[in-house]
Amino acid sequence: MESYEQLKALVASCEDDVAKCAGGNKAAGTRVRKCMQDIKNAAQEVRKAVLATRDG
């Protein structure tokens, strides 16, 4: 499932910024929030694909 692979890649891509944010880097926090929004949207796509598979 391509959308699931994209979701995994997004999570992996923001790992460094999460660590920087935990260290107090405010700019990294902004990047993490944006990345989390992208992850939310990607997760919604995975949900849609799963529903389409189930219903189809």
Tally of CA atoms within 13 A in the half-sphere of 51 that contains its CB: 6
- Decide: 32 and 23 in contact? Cβ < 8 Å: no
Q: Is residue 56 very low, low, confident or very high in pLDDT (cuts 50, 70, 90)? A: confident
Residue with tokens 């992208």: 38
Q: What are the tens digits of pLDDT across the range 5-40?
A: 999 999 999 999 999 999 999 999 999 999 999 999
How much is the pLDDT for 1?
79
